[in-house]
Amino acid sequence: MRKLERANYISEYLEKLYPKTPIPLTHQNTYELLIAVLLSAQCTDERVNRVTPLLFSKANNAYKMSALTVETIYNIIRPCGLAPKKAKAINELSKILISDYNGKVPQDFISLESLPGVGHKTASVVMSQGFGFPAFPVDTHIHRLAQRWKLTNGKNVQQTERDLKKLYPKRKWNKLHLQIIFYGREFCSARGCDGTICPICITCFPNRKKPIITNKP
């Protein structure tokens, strides 16, 4: 099976498996989504979703969040990794949103990535899931699976993103990136599959005998 055939098979398989793709991080507005995605760095979505209800009950917009001290934010988000750094970033970006964007989350990559604690992946998730702009955020699951499925050489997440964007039309990006994440968690996890176990790996590479070693993000 050639790469394009493989890519098409995978997207069709995932569409049947996950016809609906609910956003994993609980939020009520784009500001809450931005904060939740920031918190999800080196932290599971499940843990973030346990932490954010208390945080957002106190502050669900930039104005209320900027009124909280960094210490208050830290004490709430402490179960998430890198809490001291994240608490400071949340406080600072909230103040910037007020001073530069009238308290609203900007709808472009350059502005988003200029905010404290917001990298390209976080900006991509907000643009995709918050504003519906075509984007292909690459997390650890997508980076791993794209390598196992030989859709990229996996040199780094930037290369993986470029390769996937070339293979798939823009109209598929927003849904497909979630479908790959869901599949990675359920069938092709870091320890649950080595490139020779899950249904897609077996179908696409029936003669593969050795485990696939993937580059980490």
Encode pLDDT of 41-55 as tens digits: 999 999 999 999 999
172 catalytic per annotation: no
What's the rounded Cα separation, in Å, for the pair 168 and 199? 21
Report CA-CA distances (Å) from 164 to 37, 115, 194, 196.
Answer: 21, 26, 21, 21
What's the rounded Cα separation, in Å, for the pair 15 and 179? 7
Torsional sign, CA 53, 38, 157, 43: negative
What pLDDT does 154 receive?
A: 86
What pLDDT does 205 receive?
A: 97
Is-contact 108 97, C-beta < 8 A? no
What's the rounded Cα separation, in Å, for the pair 23 and 63? 25
What's the rounded Cα separation, in Å, for the pair 28 and 175? 19
Query: Alpha-carbon Rg of the chain, whole angstroms?
Result: 18
For residue 51, give the nearest of 75, 30, 34 by alpha carbon. 75
Give pLDDT < 70 ranges for the chain: none
What pLDDT does 216 receive?
A: 87
Give domain limits for the chain.
3-20+136-204, 30-130
Catalytic residue among 100, 121, 163, 175: 121
Catalytic residue among 16, 139, 155, 166: 139
pLDDT tens digits for range 148-167? 999 999 889 999 999 999 99
121 catalytic per annotation: yes
What pLDDT does 57 receive?
A: 98
For residue 33, give the nearest of 125, 166, 145, 140 by alpha carbon. 125
> Residue 28 gets which letter from DSSP?
S
> Residue 131 gets which letter from DSSP?
T
DSSP H helical ranges for the chain: 3-17, 30-39, 45-58, 62-66, 70-77, 83-101, 109-113, 120-125, 140-148, 157-167, 170-186, 199-204
CATH number of the structural domain 3-20+136-204: 1.10.1670.10
| Domain 30-130, architecture per CATH | Orthogonal Bundle (1.10)
What's the rounded Cα separation, in Å, for the pair 94 and 199? 44
What's the rounded Cα separation, in Å, for the pair 122 and 103? 18
